[in-house]
Amino acid sequence: MNTYFNDKIVWITGASSGIGEALVRQLAIHTNATIILSSRHEDQLYSVAEKAGLAVNRYAVIPLDLSNYKEMPAIAAKAVEKFGRIDILVNNAGLSQRSLAMETDIEVDKRVMDIDYTGTVALTKAVVPYMIRNGGGQIAVVSSLMGIFGAPMRSGYAAAKHALHGFFDALRAELYKQKIEITIICPGFIQTDISIHAVTGDGSAQGTMDHATMKGMPVDLFAKKMLHAIGRRKKQKVIGGKEVAAVYLKRFFPGLLAKVIRKAKVV
């Protein structure tokens, strides 16, 4: 890992497990970055920091719930107060979905959108003025392959991730002169508990691991690749296994992708 993250203040949402926890671990081992850890689970955040070996002066824990998006300005102010600035915001927290579109209650669609899109946008809007004040910064966003194409059983999730791409592509252009860079990360199947916590049509958790997720890329390897992309200030980076080929099918052979998606095993 290069020295890009050294001496930077990095704020990671969804840091209590999965990709967020792996990012904390990699930054703790390979850099001297100071890390702000956020999620809904305060006790788990302290555990993640301790297991990563972070000294007490290298991290802060700030709980947040993205569904309470109106609270983001106050939470951002609290984060800036801790260390004086935010150099890199990693919008990683989110919620997935596993249910047929016509069997999904509209309130479930709204919940996924509130967390994955609206809450993420609200936090970003709260942080950007501080970055501008400090002469620039970087915002990394964990999207998904579902931000590039849709698949069965993920209609609400794909919609929210597509929305993120639209917002952050526009924001990148708007903030270019303010020296704020945007990196959109699109994971394929990564070995996390995302499918276990994914909501079903009635809002309850699926509670089981998808086969494809279980066989996906190890989360620490993904975290290394993601941090490398952030350090290179990539505009967008797709990371995963053979499933990433669908991105190229979407671009060059959309009709073929439609046929493949209809037949693909997606859980």
Pair of tokens at residue 263: 């037949």
Q: Which of 130, 157, 176, 248 is catalytic?
A: 157
Q: How far is 108 from 193, CA to CA, in rounded Å? A: 19
- The DSSP-derived string for 63-119 is ---TTSGGGHHHHHHHHHHHHS--SEEEE-----B-B-GGGS-HHHHHHHHIIIIII
157: annotated active-site residue: yes
The phi and psi torsions of 183 (rounded to 5 degrees) equal: -120, 120
Instruction: Of 136, 161, 154, 128, give the one whose Cα is nearest residue 212.
Output: 154
Pair of tokens at residue 171: 């924001």
| Enzyme catalytic residues | 157
